[in-house]
Amino acid sequence: MRLVSLHVYPVKGCHRADLATAEVQPWGLAGDRRWMPVDDDGKMVSQREEPRLALVQPSIVDGELVLAAPGMPEVKVPAVAGGQIEVDIWKHRLPASPAGAEVDAWFAEFLGYPLRLVWLDDPTRRVVNQTYGEPGDRVSFADGYPLLLTNTASLADLNGWIAAGDHPQEAPLPMTRFRPNVVVDGAPAWAEDGWIGRRIRIGEVVFRAAKPSDRCVMTTQDQETGAKGREPLRTLARFRNVNQLLLFGTNLIPDGTGALHLGDPVEVVG
* Strands 182-185 vs 245-254: parallel, antiparallel or unpaired: unpaired
Contacts of 39 (CB under 8 A, 6+ apart): 45, 115, 116
Nearest alpha-carbon partner for 84 in 114, 121, 37: 121
Is the pTM above the cut of 0.85?
yes
List the end-to-end C-alpha distance of the chain, in Å, as a whole number.
16
pLDDT score of 270: 86
Prior bond of 265 cis (ω within 30°): no
pLDDT score of 171: 96
Q: How many residues are recorded in the chain?
A: 270
pLDDT score of 230: 96
Q: Where are the domains of the chain?
A: 2-268
Question: Helix, strand, or coil here: 26?
Answer: coil
CA dist list (Å): 134 to 80, 131, 137:
30, 8, 5
d(C-alpha 131, C-alpha 210), whole Å: 9
Task: Per residue of the chain (270 residues), give pLDDT as tens.
Answer: 999 999 999 999 999 999 999 999 999 999 999 999 999 999 999 999 999 999 999 999 988 999 999 999 999 999 999 999 999 999 999 999 999 999 999 999 999 999 999 999 999 999 999 999 999 999 999 999 999 999 999 999 999 999 999 999 999 999 999 999 999 999 999 999 999 999 999 999 999 999 999 999 999 999 999 999 999 999 999 999 999 999 999 999 999 999 999 999 999 998
pLDDT score of 63: 85
Question: Assign residue 32 a region: left if phi > 0, alpha if psi is -120 to 50, beta otherwise?
Answer: beta
pLDDT score of 62: 87
pLDDT score of 36: 98
Give the CATH architecture of domain 2-268: Beta Barrel (2.40)
pLDDT score of 208: 98
Per-residue HEC secondary structure of 248-270 comes to EEEEEEECCCEEEECCCEEEECC
Prior bond of 78 cis (ω within 30°): no
How remote is the C-alpha of 45 from its chain's centroid?
14
